[in-house]
Amino acid sequence: MNNLSAKENSATSENNSSSFIEAKNLLEYMWEQRCYFHSHPELGLKEFETCNRIEQELKALGLSPYRVGQTNVIAEIDSGRPGKTLFLRADIDALPVQEANNVPYKSQNPGIMHACGHDGHAAYLLGTAKLLLSHKADFFGKVILCFQAAEEIGKGARQIIEAGVLDKVDRTFGIHFQAGMEVGKIGVKTGADMASCDRIKIKIHGKAAHITRPQDGVDSVFIASLIVAKLHTVVSRVISPVEGAILGIGSVHSGTTYNIIAGEAEIEGTIRTFSADSRKKLAEKVEKIAKNTAEEFGGRAEVEIEDICDPCTNPKETAEEVVESAKKITAPENVITDLEKRFGSDNFADYSRKAPGTYVHVGSSDNEKNSWPHHNEHFDLAKESLAYAAALALQYSLDYLNKSL
């Protein structure tokens, strides 16, 4: 990895916007929270201590947080004046990664690490809560703060939706720190931003036999191999190359020893697309190929396709709103709107089923030590990125809630 040049680092030059200055004044507080969350990471649906800490901080501000499910924390800041409702979301779960960083805030939980920045998301939203409370007289309507569990495993969001939290929400807003993007830069993409995610699980039922008597068995390893090979050809034959999609296999398990024809096999993979039509086409092909191939060679295939999350798409209107707010807290040239769409997924997209919103990328790198990719054991965040995230959340809240009143 190369060091960021002096020119590239211009994005972090002095920022005199009011929202940024206020957020910068809270930077030590947010960094303290981030370091706590980083050193105490918890996996999805097990974020109990994380939630306790979040609730402790919110209660200290005079708020009344409550749980949805066991590990989603919700709190409201109501201006007391009629208006719109804005939903701010931060995901809080960690990953099953053994941290390789040697830092004072290194993970204390073996095999678990905040390798995607969710510790920073929780921290910046706590800072945003403080900022919004200090501006309670300056906006109409209310803000719902959402600390969401289990984004990495596609959970949490739908629990919150099913609980009715978004029933009267007018806008949604979410930030994700972006490794490799300089601190001070903000990415807002109109249209398709991130792909949908479906998890494929295929169980192949064959018949075990001695390896020297294939006529007595049904070889699930052979069937699985054929299915995997066929699935890797599907996208190029079914989906337009202009649109693009991914059908990838990440796991194949079968057999117990070298001289037994395996009676069972399991395949796991994923489908990633940017449209409901492509998503449906690929799911249908997976099921057809798996079942027909297994049957052709005397076996049987069970296919499960789990809907993890929708494509993440930013409507033009909401994206433009956020772009205007972003230009108030960083130089206009640092607001990037021509981002390439990506095949990563985020279940922030599910909130769009209830209310339109924008998913934003905030730069979190200022040197090679915090430029490692997401989900890497060396992942880290630049401290000042927290100030940009909180400043943007504050600025957008004020701009949106006071718009067209």
Q: How far apart are CA 321 and CA 336, in angstroms?
A: 14
378 carries a ligand binding annotation: no
**Pairing outcome for strands 186-187 and 335-336:** parallel
- What ranges make up the beta strands (E) of 287-403? 300-309, 312-314, 335-336, 357-365
3-state secondary structure of 199: strand
Q: How far apart are CA 122 and CA 116, in angstroms?
A: 12
Q: By the 8 A CB rule, do 98 and 113 touch? A: yes
At residue 179, φ and ψ (nearest 5 deg) are: -65, 140
Task: Report which residue type is found at 79.
Answer: S
Q: How far apart are CA 211 and CA 260, in angstroms?
A: 5
Q: By the 8 A CB rule, do 146 and 74 touch? A: yes
Number of H helices and number of E strands within the chain?
9, 16
At residue 401, φ and ψ (nearest 5 deg) are: -70, -20
At residue 59, φ and ψ (nearest 5 deg) are: -65, -35
Using alpha carbons, select from 261, 268, 267 the residue that is nearest to residue 220: 261
At residue 362, φ and ψ (nearest 5 deg) are: -110, 125
Strand partners, 246: 272
121 carries a ligand binding annotation: no
Q: Scanning the structure block, which residue is given the tokens 């206009």?
A: 332
Per-residue DSSP letter, 239: S
35 carries a ligand binding annotation: no
232 carries a ligand binding annotation: no
Q: By the 8 A CB rule, do 102 and 31 touch? A: no
375 carries a ligand binding annotation: yes
Alpha-carbon distances, residue 75 vs 2, 25, 98, 377 (angstroms): 41, 23, 32, 32
List, as residue ranges, the binding site for Mn(2+). Answer: 116, 118, 152, 176, 375
List, as residue ranges, the binding site. Answer: 116, 118, 152, 176, 375
